[in-house]
Chain A
Amino acid sequence: MEVLALLDCLSAPACLLSQAVGGLKIGMLLFLVASGLTLIFGVLGIINFAHGILYMLGAYFAWQAMELTGHFGLSVLIGAIGVGIFGLAFERGLIKRVYESNLLIQILLCYAVILIVDDLVMIIWGDEFLSSIGVPEIFQVPPLFIFDAVIPPFHLAIIFTSLLIAILLWMLMTRSRFGSLVRAAAINPKMLEALGINTNFIRYSVFVLGSFLAGLGGALAASERSIVSQMGNSILIESFIITVIGGMGSIGGAFLASLIIGMARSFGAVAMPLFTDGLMFLIMVLVLILRPRGIMGEKK
């Protein structure tokens, strides 16, 4: 572990700022994926172990749309909506059947879907890395220099877009009728059904929303990283960590935890490059031991 390197970085404004912006970008993209995971768990009571492939599909769909249309914003949107539709089919076709099953069956169902989709992606797009879809033209400008820190404007755009979506999501969940229904369904679905509400509709719309968000995260990430079928694996693990740390089912908790994990990754890369993943799991273990319900999880 290189404590000195970390101290050097923390005391230099340039390094501090660029790592912080980097961490914020990672954290906000993670939030898009993890918020869907935590929402699905909160309402459906299902751990979607296949959440990583939604992120991965978002990247592939966006790449394909970019090939066809050449328009960045449109491609990202198509990627996200495409994954939303995929999520609908996934929930109606498979997940629906294991709501009442035990955890082992749910895990294995998701494991099967991961294996199948990974191979299908390989059949359709090949097993080579695809190049990133690139940054839109208006952001193809020299980076900003703030206190000597190199900050690409596109990273700021990603941070603000994700932040905007986080706020929209928060308003949807707290200020709209749909949000109240979703929260009610998380607490007592039977009662809601007795009141004449179609809880099935709530379930799959939550799943579609979660898929859409994960797809959006993947599509945005595809702007700068190369695309490969395994790209969902690490994001899945990180989303789990965030869900657990933030409190399972809590969107606010997921937001906080995403920031923590984003920063841990960014600064961890300076301090202990080989143990960054280990560091995240260490945080998760500590939270599970000291406060199993997470930072903002409700007590059951």
Chain B
Amino acid sequence: MNVSIKDSFKKDAIYSVVSWIALLSLYFIFNDHGIQDIITKVAILGLFAMSLNILIGYLGLIAFGHATFFAAGAYTLGLFLQSDFIIEYNIGSWSIPIALSLSVLLPGILATIVGVICIRLREIYFSFLTLAFQMIFYSLILALVGITGGDQGLMGGFPKPPFLGINLGIHFHFYAFTTFIVILAVFLMRQIIESPFGYGLRMIRDNHERPAALGFNIRSHQLLAFIIAGSLAGLAGSLQALLDVGAYPEWAFWSKSAEPLFMILLGGMQTFLGPLLGALIFELLNDFVSANTRYYGLILGLVILIFVLGFKKGLLDWIVIRGRKN
């Protein structure tokens, strides 16, 4: 067991570095801000969808409030960078790294509180409870106008001071930094999913009685997975806030939780990178449809119907299953 984990660690590390270099070269191949920004957005949305898939694909928990943590990360970053704290303590160039760390930490704490309460319930009741917490969070954002800006969102922008030679004001720096952070997060997620803990999650998904009989603490596994998923969604949200230089209450609305579900459906939930592929399809679809027609919902809805009633599984799942058969 130990040997195989070490091996895959090395392999995954090489894959990660190679894909980062590949993404960096893509930046120069497509010398076009439009395409480069699509890649950045796909990276962020992909991280969001993959974090949710820890719960859906590996643990079998249909969490319907995942955008809570996405929005929590976004608002944490925005509010921290706008705060007087930075000037008062003269944090200056460290403000971005600190803001990002807080955007993982605070959503993680929030996920701990929400998770402790939610995982006591099963199936649809679990889904409803996560949804209810999300809508409370959404209502709070709207109600606390003085802090969050209410329904206008976090306005006024925030500074992005350079750190370690990285200036996020420069387009290429932003691209390289975002893709690096996302790849790093995906790499860590991979290690978690392939660890004994990760296999524990799959066992709980497939059978509730067996792990319990083996003396496995199901609740603590579920809670830990919920916290990890929430923290990573927070990271994705904070990157989105950096990109848009703001945060918006819609990011905490229930439809924002439906988006990663859709990406998971598009890409596939049984393969590790499925949701990332789903995010790519989603973003391309979004871009293409909104550029060419006013009837965005009509097209998107028909695509979902095709996947739900036709393929019944994500694209990458479908490819992998086909590959195994041949």
Contact B262–A285 (Cβ < 8 Å): no
**How many chain B residues have a CB neighbour from A under 8 Å?**
43
Which of A97-105, A134-142, A179-187, A214-222 is the interface stretch? A97-105
Contact A292–B308 (Cβ < 8 Å): no
A272 within 8 A of B: yes
Q: What residues of chain A lie closer than 8 Å to B143, measured between beta carbons?
A: 272, 274-275, 278
Contact A103–B297 (Cβ < 8 Å): no
Contact B312–A237 (Cβ < 8 Å): no
A113 to chain B, nearest CB (A): 7
Q: What residues of chain A lie closer than 8 Å to B145, measured between beta carbons?
A: 274
- CB-contacts of B286-326 with A (<8 A): 295-298, 300-302, 304-305, 307-309, 312
Contact B132–A281 (Cβ < 8 Å): yes
Which of B102-110, B118-126, B194-202, B226-234 is the interface stretch? B118-126
Residue of B nearest to A121 (CB): B297
Contact B302–A116 (Cβ < 8 Å): yes
Q: What residues of chain B lie closer than 8 Å to A113, measured between beta carbons?
A: 301, 305
Contact A289–B139 (Cβ < 8 Å): no
B224 within 8 A of A: no
Knowing A108-B265, A275-B139, A278-B143, say if A288 contacts B308 (CB, 8 Å): no
Q: What residues of chain A lie closer than 8 Å to B132, measured between beta carbons?
A: 241, 244, 281, 284-285, 288
A100 vs B69: C-alpha distance when bound (angstroms): 31
Interface string of A102-142 (1 = CB under 8 A from B): 11110111011111101110110000000000000000000
A5 within 8 A of B: no
Residue of A nearest to B118 (CB): A288
B290 to chain A, nearest CB (A): 13
Q: State which of B133, B142, B308 has its C-beta within 8 Å of the C-beta of A105.
A: B308
**Dominant SS among interface residues on chain B:** helix
Q: What residues of chain B lie closer than 8 Å to A123, measured between beta carbons?
A: 295, 298
A240 within 8 A of B: yes
- CB-contacts of B261-276 with A (<8 A): 261-262, 264-265
A47 within 8 A of B: yes
Q: What is the size category of the interface that chain A forms with chain B?
A: 35 or more
Q: What residues of chain B lie closer than 8 Å to A282, measured between beta carbons?
A: 136
A277 within 8 A of B: yes
Q: State which of A47, A104, A118, A292 has its C-beta within 8 Å of the C-beta of B261.
A: A104
Most-contacted residue by chain B among A123, A248, A285 (CB, 10 A) = A285
A22 to chain B, nearest CB (A): 21
B288 to chain A, nearest CB (A): 16
Q: What residues of chain A lie closer than 8 Å to B281, measured between beta carbons?
A: none
- CB-contacts of B133-154 with A (<8 A): 133, 135-136, 138-140, 142-143, 145, 150
B56 within 8 A of A: yes
Residue of A nearest to B125 (CB): A292
18 A-B residue pairings within 8 Å (CB atoms): A103-B124, A107-B64, A108-B258, A108-B265, A112-B300, A115-B298, A116-B298, A116-B302, A237-B254, A244-B132, A274-B139, A275-B143, A277-B142, A278-B143, A285-B129, A285-B132, A289-B117, A289-B120
Nearest 8 A-B pairs (CB), nearest first?
A278-B139, A115-B301, A116-B301, A115-B297, A112-B304, A119-B298, A274-B143, A119-B297
